[in-house]
Amino acid sequence: MSILDAGFINSWLSQKTSIFGLKLWVLLGICVGASIVLVLFLLSLCLSSRRRSTKHLKHRAHESTPPISKDITEIVHHNREVHIDIGKTENRVVLGENRRNPAPPASSSTTGTASSGEAAAPSMTGNGGLPEVSHLGWGHWYTLRELEEATGGLAEENVIGEGGYGIVYRGVLGDNTVVAIKNLLNNRGQAEKEFKVEVEAIGRVRHKNLVRLLGFCVEGAYRMLVYEYVDNGNLDQWLHGDAGDVSPLTWVMRMNIILGTAKGLAYLHEGLEPKVVHRDVKSSNILLDRQYNPKVSDFGLAKLLYSERSYVTTRVMGTFGYVAPEYASTGMLNERSDVYSFGVLTMEIITGRSPVDYTRPPGEVNLVEWIKNMVAERKIELVVDPNLPEKPSSKALKRALLVALRCIDPDGHKRPKMGHVIHMLEMDDLLFRDDHKLGRKASSRQLDRDNS
């Protein structure tokens, strides 16, 4: 470029423009600067948009992944799960949903047990280096290693009961505490949140007539419940076992068992929120201590019923002969279902007969129908267990039968609540004592006459 050309360009750039009288070169500089700022701004917008898009995708991915419970940490093991079917099918009632693969039947158990959990897996020890002991508010969080050591590796010789809900082992913990450990089976649909909520609710239960739940274990496919150990067997064994010609259970003891059972159920129904519906009240679920005081067991994962609801619809589960008719036909469950089962249990305790016994004549197979017929024919003295060492008074027997008959009313709304049942039974207890006092007075008067 020549000097003339350079001078021309310089002269041209130095010319004033009509825009605020700015020289041309100044105006061009402003335009170039503004262009650079605009490009930087657009680049900034692109980068910000990309960051927001990436963050949104990460957030969506996080939302699509189910959150892991912070209270119950599941330790995953890559072992093949084993599903075990146990129990006697002829004794278990399973209706409603999942008819193709119903839950297995239940049989008698001799310690505190519970229901509903996940399938069991092969025995394994260790927990991947995680802490051996943890706590969850109300009770103890046991590790699988602890419970395996307590039961000798879930050894068969430590099995003390089994049913449709699981296998019960006798175990001795590291501090020499004897416990009953239930390994839950065959309920893989149980949601983790539901398991946690119901176990926590039951874990806070404290009543002398309820078996106490001490803690639980959740590892891999294992769901295990740990209970206090009750070592005097269950009511079914004492009523129907080989106890000889004279039953060790006197009338007074039987009434005490009925009353204690009623108090335990009343606490579940009326002393808790949400209330707990047992679903499987029967003689094999009534454990006895050394003084023959009753403790209701197998309520661990029954069903919770909140105050704003009158029913909960569920798959019908219970034991043949004890299940309330409306529950069996509709699956609608509430505390009146337990009241019906309690009425059948009361009849069983009075008579010493099973609710359903096919070895008896046709008219006596069904205990409830047989007792109704005997009451209608005014033959109530014949329903008393013939192995009782001492027969009850007519008044005491009538009162006990009246309680039982009211509890098994076909109309669930006419059945009494367990609190009312307790009141009627305690009145019966007073009447029974009065009868004995009158009997002793009459005997003493007779002795005075003889001596005179």
pLDDT computed for residue 358 by the predictor: 94
Residue 128 backbone zone (phi > 0: left; psi -120 to 50: alpha; other: beta): left
pLDDT computed for residue 377 by the predictor: 95
Helix (H, G, I), strand (E, B) or coil at 228: strand
The one catalytic residue among 5, 175, 231, 280: 280
Q: What residue ranges of the chain are covered by domains with CATH 3.30.200.20?
A: 89-228
- Cα–Cα distance between 324 and 429 in angstroms, integer? 27
Choose which CATH entry (3.90.1200.10, 3.20.20.80, 1.10.510.10, 3.90.1150.10) describes domain 244-296+321-441: 1.10.510.10
Closest C-alpha among 310, 287, 312 to residue 298: 287
Q: What residue ranges of the chain are covered by domains with CATH 1.10.510.10?
A: 244-296+321-441
Give the residue ranges of DSSP H helices in 143-223: 144-150, 192-203
pLDDT computed for residue 331 by the predictor: 83
3-state helix, strand, coil in the chain (%, to 5): 45, 15, 40
The partner residues of 135 in beta bridges, in order of sequence, read 140
Give Cα 426 to chain centroid, integer Å: 29
Listed as ranges, residues in the chain with pLDDT below 50 are: 58, 60-137, 432, 438, 442-443, 447
Q: Look up the CATH number of domain 89-228.
A: 3.30.200.20
pLDDT computed for residue 139 by the predictor: 63
pLDDT computed for residue 310 by the predictor: 73
- Cα–Cα distance between 451 and 449 in angstroms, integer? 5
pLDDT computed for residue 325 by the predictor: 92
pLDDT computed for residue 149 by the predictor: 95
pLDDT computed for residue 272 by the predictor: 85
The reply to whether 385 belongs to the active site is no
pLDDT computed for residue 363 by the predictor: 92
